[in-house]
Amino acid sequence: MKIEEENKRPYLSIVVASRNDNHGGDLLKRMQIFVTGLLEQCSCHKLDAELIIVEWNPPPDSPRLAEVLKWPDEPGPCYVRIIEVSPEIHEKFKYSDKLLLFQMIAKNVGIRRARGQFILATNIDLLFSDELMRFLASQKMAYGNMYRIDRYDVSSDVPTDVPITEMLNYCRKNIVRVNTSNGTISLKDVKGASRNSIWLQDKINRVKPWLPTLNQLKRLYSPYILLRGISHIVRAIACFFKWSLIPIWKCIALCGTVFLTKKEVDENLWKKLHTNACGDFTLMAKEHWFALRSYPEWEMYSFHIDSVFCYMASYASVREAVLPVSMRIYHVEHTAGWNPQQSKQLYDRLQSMGVPIMTGGDLLYHVDRLWKHGGIVHFNDNKWGLAGIDLKETSVYQE
């Protein structure tokens, strides 16, 4: 293993967080797919980048990620940096005995130390389409924009030890669901009985089925509109009226998810952003990340914190730019990944552990606060991202 220092400023910093504890199942396989695919694509498209892996609270009885992951023989145009946050630092956070990885705080560590002109916060179980990589390599990203994207969930059996072209071909043919600005749509539901593909969260955090609207079907499944469009519209309208007539609560379509909230909140004044799966892809200039002091460093489960940050950026006049459908990311399915069916179980498990998690109502509350305040809002102090703390850093590739 060769260790080397690199001080040049790349065009793009790609920041992820992880630890070698098999969280989510098949962690090393999913992470190897991500690393192999990304580095191969950076070489193919000549993307001037750095990959920052924040290894948070590494288990004492497991090897480090630098040792267990396979690295290319040559570093290529993407330089890899692994920044370690020790268990001793982790233990200073509340709920550290129950949450072994504070995902957003970990990403902040990488963002704080990123050298790129632009910074992409993403996750370790993704593959990027070639169309997206060509855009990133073109160096045509604009200051003042927050780039967002659709996420395509794919079956977990993505082949390994094959060229990236074969990985992407598998992904295109094995899509499970699609996370768009209009909602999360299950391919199985639309192709089959065409039901229960958009989800509704109510005031007690239960998940209820919601039906796809015409716009949602038109975006991805236009062939099925001819067969099922009218019935879907009728049923969706019926569901909407049913829920809207409930006293105190009403439907709000926000962030690609439909929430129920108190009637005194006027959602028509809020911006509507594409925050569906935004933790997997949020990209903007480094100066915007730093001006906002990055993700709120709340000691809680990471759900919805990424959405709050997107609204922080938007109300601070950073424009949302949703990239075309062809510039998609593929997410490898795993057991702990969030999906509508498992939402109730997740909330119950965290509640039994005494770990706080942001609900849909909490998110709406923060969005309302950001709208009322306007401009830049800081949830962190100047020490965000563990600034001022000397962390172990390794830059690795095989000779």
Mean pLDDT of 128-144: 98
Is the pLDDT at 93 greater than 60, yes or no? yes
Neighbours of 367 (CB within 10 A): 26
Q: Could you tell me the two tokens for 320?
A: 């949302």
Rounded distance between C-alpha atoms, residue 3 and residue 206, angstroms:
49
User: Nearest-CA neighbor of 256 among 285, 279, 288?
Assistant: 279
Rounded distance between C-alpha atoms, residue 330 and residue 154, angstroms:
7
Burial of residue 47, with CB atoms counted within 10 A of its CB: 0-12 exposed, 13-18 middle, 19 or more buried: buried
Neighbours of 5 (CB within 10 A): 7
For 84, the enclosing helix (H) or strand (E) is strand 78-85
Burial of residue 255, with CB atoms counted within 10 A of its CB: 0-12 exposed, 13-18 middle, 19 or more buried: buried
Rounded distance between C-alpha atoms, residue 251 and residue 150, angstroms:
23
Q: What is the pLDDT of residue 200?
A: 33
Mean pLDDT of 322-330: 95
Domains annotated on the chain, with CATH:
2-181+273-397 (3.90.550.10), 193-266 (no CATH)
Is the pLDDT at 201 greater than 70, yes or no? no
Mean pLDDT of 328-351: 75
The answer to whether the CB of 134 falls within 8 A of the CB of 157 is no
Rounded distance between C-alpha atoms, residue 56 and residue 157, angstroms:
27
Phi, psi of 267 (to 5 degrees): -70, -15
Is the pLDDT at 3 greater than 50, yes or no? no
Q: What is the pLDDT of residue 364?
A: 84
Q: Is the dihedral of CA 346, 347, 352, 354 positive or negative?
A: positive
Considering 64-73, 106-115, 363-372, the range whose residues carry the highest mean pLDDT is 106-115
Q: Could you tell me the two tokens for 49?
A: 């980048």
Considering 69-83, 221-235, 291-305, the range whose residues carry the highest mean pLDDT is 291-305
Q: What is the pLDDT of residue 242?
A: 44
For 67, the enclosing helix (H) or strand (E) is helix 65-68
3-state secondary structure of 337: coil
304: left (phi > 0), else alpha (psi -120 to 50), else beta?
left
